Amino acid sequence: MQRYSVFALARQAFRNHEGWERAWRSPEPKRRYDTIIVGAGGHGLATAYWLGRNFGITNVAVIEKGWLGGGNTGRNTTIIRSNYLQDASAGIYEKSRSLYETMSQDLNYNVMYSPRGVMMLAQTEHEVRGYRRTAHANALQGVETQFVGPERVKELCPIINIEGPRYPVLGALWQPRAGTARHDAVAWGYARACSDMGMDIIQKCEVTGVRSEGGKVTGVSTTKGEIDCDRLGIVVAGNSGVLADMAGFRLPIESVALQALVSEPIKPCMDVVVMANTVHGYMSQSDKGEMVIGGGADGYNNYTQRGSFHHIEETVRALVETFPMISRLKMLRQWGGIVDMTGDRSPIISKTPLEGCYINAGWGTGGFKAIPGSGWAMAELMAKGHSPLADDFSLDRFREGRFIDESVAAGVAH
Amino acid sequence: MLILHCPNCGVDADETELAPGGEAHLTREGPGSSDEEFEQYLFLRENPRGVHFERWRHAMGCGKWFHAARCTTTMEVFGTYPAQTSEPPQEIRDRISDRRPGWRWRELS
């Protein structure tokens, strides 16, 4: 693999940048692999990457229906944080956040991780109590967060109106080491590293069926032919139910559309991420200067990747009260992604009723932040049969009543 | 914007007037049911890519519940029908068969 560095850049500058090689190969599928991962988004590629890095399993194919990172990996608002209430969540999200810190060095690919800090506003008395509790829980879990008062909020983000008539800012849960990263680069960096380890990333190849024999997975049928495997990882947020149906089991998941939008680019005015969960809106400023805004999810099953217009209206209406200066901004683009919602709003990283078939799904509205940690846990689960980070997120928790109830702690903005 | 006809009050209501109520025709388990049955009732969902039957409430209108048959990929609405039934009426199923030959939803087709 061609390493990226300042010297490589200088060398190429003298050669009109004609000597760069492709970041990853695009091979035709082989007849058989030890392990197949369905879904070349962040989570799927991270799973493949850690299978190779931590367990030396490199006879792996990552199969993708569309293009690499074209699903929710390229549609999110790039927020990375780990201020969760429950121990299981704090474990996996904090692992993930810490892996983001060194990701650019690990992958030799600049993912532009920016630990600019995430502030979750408390705009009702209930939220103040809830976030104080989360801050205490985080202290016990070893996650650095603190509850700050309104003056500090104003200091960290001067464009906030803390005396809004309807939703005054009463304080915030502040995680200084949280932040954002370049979402496409995360997928591209993992793809490059996986390809370098000899794994095949096969794009424009849709899985049309899962084959099994005597309750054990034997391979998949695809639009590029039959491919055999011993182990199958399903990592297809949004379409998890469709793949589960092919594999012959049901999931506690519903697919709904979640939307985001960006404004026209403006001068730097905000160097933190602000989430306002009472009003369902979150905002940060990208390096290009666009205000990146995320909103609420639709309430009904939907695979259209569009979302309902009135959710945008609600989100922007609420944010204008908290950030009066955005009232004159024009919005440039809006898009939607299909997210998996589970019964307890926590993810599933689990074995399935089909032997040799594993699933990583249900990240709801907040999967991007979990990419490296989720891949780490999923790889360990697939290689060793269990993983300390993943065990609490098993599929049978719904039957056994062991919920990881974050919906109260994190609201919908997740 | 999604527009559904409320069979209770006859209004063509748009999405902002309605509250989604999730998958339709679930068997409501009670005391004495097994863990598996409760899991089916409370959590496991069809979540199809295509024809779906679901519950809605005309929350900002007459306030009553009804059922809708809808395609989750195109947002096409095949029809709405009253809440007091445990399966979709034949007329709606025929309409779906016209539009989506070979459709399947649980044991219905």
Mark yes or no for CB contact A251/B19 under 8 Å.
Answer: no
Domain count along chain B: 1
The answer to whether position B105 is within a domain reads: no
Residues A81 and A189 in one domain: yes
| A40 pLDDT above the threshold of 60 | yes
Instruction: Tell me the shortest Cα–Cα distance from A301 to chain B, in angstroms.
Output: 6
Residues A206 and A335 in one domain: no
Residues A133 and A85 in one domain: no
**Closest CB to A398 among B39, B46, B73:** B39
Query: pTM for this structure?
Result: 0.94
Residues A132 and A196 in one domain: no
Concatenate the DSSP letters of all residues of A309-373 into one string: HHHHHHHHHHHHHH-GGGGGPPEEEEEEEEEEEETTS--EEEE-SSBTEEEEE--TT--GGGHHH
In whole angstroms, what is the distance from residue A330 CA to residue A58 CA? 47
The answer to whether position A4 is within a domain reads: no
**Closest CB to B72 among A299, A302, A398:** A302
The answer to whether position A157 is within a domain reads: yes
Whether A251 and chain B come into contact, CB under 8 Å, resolves to: yes
Give residue-wise pLDDT tens across range A204-225: 999 999 999 999 999 999 999 9
Residues A158 and A274 in one domain: yes
The answer to whether position A238 is within a domain reads: yes
Helices A371-384 and A87-101 cross at an angle (nearest 10°) of 110
| A414 pLDDT above the threshold of 50 | no
CATH label of the domain that carries residue A90: 3.50.50.60
CATH label of the domain that carries residue A299: 3.30.9.10
In whole angstroms, what is the distance from residue A192 CA to residue A40 CA? 12
Find the chain B residues whose C-beta atoms sit closer than 8 A to any C-beta of A: 1-2, 15-16, 19-20, 22-23, 35-36, 38-39, 42-49, 52, 54, 72-75
Concatenate the DSSP letters of all residues of A253-287 into one string: EEEEEEEEEEE---S----SEEEETTTTEEEEE-T
The answer to whether position A25 is within a domain reads: no
Q: Are strands A253-263 and A225-234 parallel, antiparallel or unpaired?
A: unpaired
Torsion of CA A64, A70, A71, A74, to 10 degrees: 140
Residues A275 and A310 in one domain: yes
Q: What pLDDT is attached to residue A166?
A: 85
Give the residue from A352, A350, A347, A391 showing the smallest Cα distance to A370. A347
Strands (E), A146-272: 146-148, 171-175, 179-180, 200-202, 207-213, 216-222, 225-234, 253-263
The rounded mean pLDDT for chain A is 94
Query: Domain range holding A145?
Result: 118-177+255-342
Residues A335 and A358 in one domain: no
- A348 token code pair: 């599933």
Domain count along chain A: 2
Residues A323 and A200 in one domain: no
The answer to whether position A3 is within a domain reads: no
Q: What is the dihedral sign for C-alpha A231, A235, A236, A241? A: positive
| A244 pLDDT above the threshold of 70 | yes
The answer to whether position B108 is within a domain reads: no
Give residue-wise pLDDT tens across range A295-338: 888 889 999 988 888 889 888 988 898 999 999 999 999 999 99
In whole angstroms, what is the distance from residue A212 CA to residue A40 CA? 22
Query: Domain range holding B28?
Result: 3-99
Residues A124 and A81 in one domain: no
- Interface predicted TM-score (ipTM): 0.93
Q: What is the dihedral sign for C-alpha A233, A239, A241, A242? A: negative
Give residue-wise pLDDT tens across range A327-369: 999 999 999 999 999 988 899 999 999 999 999 999 998 899 9
Asked if residue A249 lies in contact with residue B39, where contact means CB atoms within 8 angstroms, the answer is no
